[in-house]
Amino acid sequence: MKKYINIAVVGLGQIGSYLLNELNLKKKDIELKTGKKINIVAISAKNINKKRKFKINKSIFYKNPIDIIKNLDIDILFEVIGQSDGVSKKIVELSLKKKINVITPNKALISKHGDYLTKLAEKNKINLEFEASVAGGIPILRTIKEGLATNKIFKVYGILNGTCNYILSEMEKTKDTFSNVLKKAQILGYAEPGNPKLDLNGYDAFAKIRILSALSFNKKISKSKCLMEGIENIDFKDVDIANQLNYRIKLLGITEIINNHLFERVHPCLVKKDCYIGNVNGVMNAVIVNGKPIGESILQGEGAGPGPTSSALMSDLLSILRGNIKYPFGISSVKRKKPKIYNINNYSNSLYLRFEVKDKPGVLSLITKQLAKKRISVQRLIQIPDHKKKTASIVIITHLSNENDAQNCLKSFKNNSNILKKPTLIRLFN
């Protein structure tokens, strides 16, 4: 690689702006550690007039990022726009075809088009780097790709969304409602002020799990439907009851190999208070890797925000500047096979079930009989009456229960007038 490296930054939101500042501030440090001098020759954003903490250098500003690729001699492009399709995909695709190295934090893009883009990078013998796409400043992808390269990995799981973790932690801490804590998270900048749906519904963590799966198990990115549940339906009552039972509720992303089949899922879990993952609170992320011979390896840190994300983007930059041309997913695309998908209906797990019911004789018996009919065994039962409303909360912790049996059982209560709302199901983390 030549000594003087031309860089373009496309996207000047929070992350792109922070990154641009880091690139300017740390030019000497980058040269010291790599022997390469960087020149920022182009930047692009939707609106040049948007209020920012820095002045836009108009001489290097391009309204249309495609013009950067077509007209300039670029060595490395940072794509910091976001979204899986549209201009994000187009600019990355064009860059790779023109043998321009690409660095991106765009998990949506990689989880959807990663296999295709990887082939382009490999064909042109350049880098496609996306360390920042999973868990922000935690170097989990590089750890799996390089530090644990000779390990056989069986399972990867963790807290992959800081917004959800903050909300659940704060609900327990303050004893406040989901909606109130969400508003607080939005004010603090932990959740999108307009539409935080992609965080709350599990999609953000889901995209990260897909990337982790492909890298950990040397597979193509799965396109199959996966169990994905968010935290929108978690009530403070569930957080409070879990706390009394010595559990905490965490949104976990989990991927593992079961009988040579890939099993990916994202959903709330009840985790023991005394386990490691149960004590990762606030906006923190944590990823746990189980493999051989390493055993269990844990990485924890801030998973989002301009600072941690920029840190990961800069680490990708230094890797490229040092001349490390490597396969984006650790091995050649040719050797990565389409995964066989585990049938979730065959999965067994202990469950937390909460029923809101009319407080009258026979209702509890009706529930337990239906559970028994569906081969669901009760491990623990709690009944919490509300004498004023003449209602009760019935909480049941089950023994290991088949996923399909559990779902069919809950459906059977749908038209029962004694069950006041849809039962809540939260899986215990095994």
> What order of strands is seen across the sheet that includes strand 4-10?
61-62, 37-44, 4-10, 76-79, 101-103, 128-129
- In the prediction, which pLDDT does 78 show? 98
Which residue is associated with the tokens 């992609």?
198
Please report, in tens digits, the pLDDT of each residue of the chain (430 residues total): 688 999 999 999 889 999 999 999 999 999 999 999 999 999 999 888 787 777 888 899 999 999 999 999 999 999 999 889 999 999 999 999 999 999 999 999 999 999 999 999 999 999 999 999 999 889 999 999 999 999 999 999 999 999 999 999 999 999 999 999 999 988 888 888 778 888 899 999 999 999 999 999 999 999 988 899 999 999 999 999 999 999 999 999 999 999 999 999 999 999 999 999 999 999 999 999 999 999 999 999 988 788 999 999 999 999 999 998 889 999 999 999 999 999 999 999 999 999 999 999 999 999 999 999 999 999 999 999 999 999 999 999 999 999 999 999 999 998 899 999 999 999 999 7
Supply the pLDDT for residue 269: 98
Report d(CA 381, CA 367) in Å as an integer: 11
Cβ burial 390-423 (10 Å sphere, 16+ → b, else e): eebbbbbbbeebbbebbeebbeebeeeeebeeeb
* Amino acid 137: pLDDT: 85
H helices of 175-298, in order, are 178-187, 197-200, 203-217, 236-244
Q: Which of 138, 207, 200, 136 is nearest to 171 (CA)?
A: 200
Domains of the chain: 4-133 (3.40.50.720), 140-302+338-344 (3.30.360.10), 345-428 (3.30.70.260)
**What's the pLDDT score for residue 1?**
66
Would you please indicate which residues are annotated as catalytic (active-site) residues?
Answer: 208
Angle at 192 between CA 157 and CA 222, to 5 degrees: 35
Contact call for residues 102 and 111 (beta carbons, < 8 A): no
171 vs 247: CA distance, rounded Å: 14
E strand or H helix at 114: helix 107-123
